Structure 1
Amino acid sequence: MKIILRKKKLKNNKESLYIEFYNGSVITPEGKRKFLRTFEYLDLYLDNSSNSASIKQRNKETLLLAENILSIRQAEHIQGKYQIKNTRKKKTNFLEYYHKIKEDKYQSKGNYDNWDAAGLHLEAYCPINLSFEEIDESFVKGYKKYLDVKARTKSGTPLSQNTKYTYFNKFRACLRLAFEDKYLDIDLKKSVKSFDQGESQREYLTFSELTKMANTKCKYPVLKNAFIVSCLTSLRWSDIDKMKWSEVRDEDNGARIIFRQKKTDGLEYLDISDQARSLMGERRGESEKVFQGLKYGAHFNAEILRWCMRAGITKHITFHSARHTNAVLLLENGADIYTVSKRLGHKELRTTEIYAKIIDKKMKEAAEIIPKLSIKI
């Protein structure tokens, strides 16, 4: 491969500097020669508008910088070709790399919070100046043991099984990215097995409880409508919060929502009931949010609990419980598990099977198999 510094003339008496990576040529099926080139534009420019000393000096410095970048690219190519190890990356501070990865996750609120919380435990375990060349399998095993034995919550209690599972997986994901980015020579993610994931309780509303909620006053009508729509559609908070009218289609045979899931980035086509559509209200501008005034925060979360109490429901219900409610109601009313999985946007069927355990009718029947005892108290 040839790596060359080139110039491109612009209309404003300037020249743009860029690097050309030339990798030969091939003959296409049409019999034409195709040159294999890629380019890296450096965002550096030479100014030819004047012969003044200051501009000449600036051009000289710009050209020197471009030539230095060219030298680096040529060196990187040689390293790859002859498998010369890049020791510079190995000396990178591990915690700084982790925090950079964490900040890249900022767009995903829940995921970012998990990376942030996991990072606090990493800071407690890792020496502050730890570099990648000091990370090995024993270090990874040590961090797993730290989470399992020493790590504590803010209230001083040991971490739950699922919290250990989540935090250690963020650490392993960081190691995988570091391996892909060539900060590590081996994929340490594969060297130590993760924690087993604990089965968490999924709180949900029964149909009668949801009916009570629907007929009980909520301080914020937009919150009430959004919550019930989630119960009827399985939409997550993040997707309801960002939903715009351009995503809602009113078609001849009913309404559907065509949207990209914020959590998975998957494109979804979700048919919804007439009742769910009516709770969204009248259509407004395509760029406007469907649920205007909906806010994420402790205030709205507390109102859901107060709303439940007014309805006589003592369960700890959150907005995400609406999604669990939808899954349970669908299965109880005859929907097959594959359809439910598709509506929830699950990538794996085993994720949906958790809801099947909740409504296992055979287990309910078994509870009544044994005849009643004749008991005198």
Structure 2
Amino acid sequence: MRKSNVTLRQKALSTGKISLYLDFYPPILNKKTNQYTRREFLKIYLYKKPKNQFQKNENVQNRNNAEMIYIRRQNELSKDQIYSTFEKEQLELQRIGLGSFLKYFKKLADKREGISFQIWNYSIIHFEAFLKGQDICFKDVTITFIEDYKDYLLTAKSLKKNGNTLSRNTALSYHNKVKATLKAAYKEGKLRTDINAGVDSIKEQESQRNFLTIEQAKKLFSTPCSNEIIYKISKFSLLTGNRYSDIAKLEWSEIEHIENDGHYVRFKQKKTEGLQTMPISDEAFETLGERGEPHEKVFHGLKKWDMYRVLPVWLARAGIIKHFTFHCFRHSYATLQLSAGTDIFTVSKMLGHKNVKTTQIYSHIIDKNKRATTARISLK
């Protein structure tokens, strides 16, 4: 640790007085602001041109006071040089503990993109509401504090206009962002204990996942669709399990063919940012149509609004009456694969899940006593 020197300096003011302050080099830590600074203004002033004996006496007294503070600071800095290694470590821990947990939370959120950034941002808004406009230092973050925040989320109102209470799974998502921040802070040494490990997650509520049976899928894709691109991306999603976000940004450079092996899609998942190498069937490849330039979008001209407009009408024409969004094609892929006998670990890899527990949600939908078969999905 480099020794800091302190110098008593003065600065002429426009009022005709002189302000006395201390100058530190290198800068020292201000424990109140948790920031390094070079100056400490003493709020002690001298008359630049004393007009009488009273002002002269006051100048002498004020300068003596400033000298006393200067000597005290000098002694404090000298003491710092004889701190033991342990004492220095404790001082550093105290400094870190005064850092803003909220500011660190926002810093991690800024590294996210797209939908992930929006979810982190909503989580921060609720965290700030829980803090009631205050901040919180790392040293004040405890298991009890995080448990209280969890209780808050379970009764908090949604930020949407309807003002309903947050769904359990939304509360879980926001709570997990705080847990991820706790985990990162502990790893970086900003927290002295692994608080994340001591806090249980909010239990996930199993949500309804609508899907198409193989009979419904065949019926749908034999029914004319008013929009060719919507038809293609729907079929591609059901045959591969790809999300809309990944399909929308898919480029021809990400479609590869390996001789004697078949077709592959190699891309970075938008939601998880994980790299994915996924084999696709010939039937799925045929859905893509004529190959374009490497950096050209596979589904050029795709508009998300068309999907919202076309999909419900198309389903109705096929006689499929159920609440069904585009993401349900991904659910359909998972359930059809499991129904056909594909093991859950393979399905998990194909969906790009980081944890097989995520895939197990689909297995609950499947009739466990259904006869195993080697057949796979085909719409022909």
Report how far residue 231 of structure 1 moved.
0.3
Match of 2:148 among 142, 150, 154: 142
Q: Alignment identity in percent?
A: 37
Q: Whole-Å Cα distance in 1 between the matches of residues 86 and 337 of structure 2?
A: 55
**How many residues are paired up?**
292
Query: 1:260 offset after TM fit, Å?
Result: 3.3
Answering whether residue 358 of structure 2 is matched by residue 351 of structure 1, we say: yes
Please, which of 128, 148, 151 is the counterpart of residue 123 of structure 1? 128
Q: 1:282: Cα distance to partner?
A: 0.8
**1:202 — aligned with what?**
209
Q: Which residue of 1 aligns with 2:227?
A: 220
TM-score normalised per structure 1: 0.68
Give the letter aligned to residue 96 of structure 1: K
CA contact (8 A) 1:152 1:159 kept: yes
Root mean square deviation, CA, Å: 3.2
State the AA in 2 paired with 1:173.
A
Matches of 2:142 and 2:364, distance apart in 1: 41
Residues 81 and 252 of structure 1: is their aligned pair in 2 closer, same or farther, counting only changes over 3 Å?
Answer: farther
d(CA) in 2 for partners of 1:170, 1:79: 36
For 1:333, the equivalent position in structure 2 comes to 340
**Equivalence for 1:193:** 200
- If you compute each CA radius of gyration, which structure gives the higher value, 1 or 2? 2
How far does residue 228 in structure 1 lie from its aligned partner after superposition?
A: 0.9
CA gap 1:152/1:190 in 2 versus in 1, 3 angstroms: same
Look up the match of 2:267.
259
| CA offsets 1:332-354 (integer angstroms, 9 cap, x no match) | 23323332222222233333232
Report deviation, 1:323: 1.1
- Extract unaligned runs of 5+ from structure 1: 3-66, 365-377
Q: Following superposition of structure 1 onto structure 2, how do residues 270-349 of structure 1 map, counting pairs within 5 Å?
A: 270-296=278-304, 300-349=307-356
Residue deviations 1:158-215 (CA, integer Å, cap 9, x gap): 2222122111111111222233334333222223211111112211111222223223
Mapping 1:72-221, distance limit 5 Å: 82-83=88-89, 84-106=91-113, 109-132=114-137, 133-152=139-158, 154=160, 155-221=162-228
Alignment of 1:63-78 (within 5 A): none
Amino acid across the alignment from 2:340: N
Q: What 5-or-longer segments of structure 2 have no aligned partner?
A: 3-25, 28-35, 37-79, 372-380
On the 8 A contact 2:339/2:370 being kept in 1, the answer is no
Is the Cα contact below 8 Å between 1:102 and 1:116 reproduced in 2?
A: yes
State the distance in 2 between where 1:182 and 1:361 align: 47
Q: Match of 2:236?
A: 229
Indicate yes or no: 2:241 matched with 1:240.
no
**C-alpha separation between the residues in 2 aligned to 1:243 and 1:79?**
56
CA displacement 1:18-71 (0-9 Å, x = unmatched): xxxxxxxxxxxxxxxxxxxxxxxxxxxxxxxxxxxxxxxxxxxxxxxxx88xxx
Residues 224/136 of structure 1: CA separation in 2 closer, same or farther (3 Å cut) = same
Q: 2:368 & 2:184 partners in 1: Cα distance? A: 44
SS of structure 2 residue aligned to 1:355: helix
Q: What secondary structure, in the 3-state scheme, does the structure 2 residue paired with 1:358 have?
A: coil
**SS at 1:166's partner residue?**
helix
Q: 2:206 is paired with a residue of what secondary structure? A: coil
Q: Name the CA distance, whole Å, in 1 between partners of 2:153 and 2:363.
A: 32
Aligned-residue offset at 1:112: 2.1
1:344-367 superposed Cα distances (whole Å, 9 cap, x missing partner): 222333332322222215289xxx
Distance in 1 separating the partners of 2:365 and 2:102: 41
- AA aligned to 1:229 is F
Q: Which amino acid aligns with 2:180?
A: A
CA displacement at 1:225 relative to structure 2? 0.6
- In the superposition, relative to structure 1, how do residues 150 and 321 fare at CA in structure 2: closer, same or farther (>3 Å)? closer
C-alpha displacement of 1:230: 0.8
Contact 1:93 1:129 (8 Å CA) reproduced: no
For structure 1, which segment, 326-335 or 165-174, has the greater mean C-alpha deviation from structure 2 after superposition? 326-335
Amino acid in the other structure paired with 1:269: T
CA distance in 1, matches of 2:281, 2:149: 49
2:128 and 2:134 in contact (8 A); partners too: no
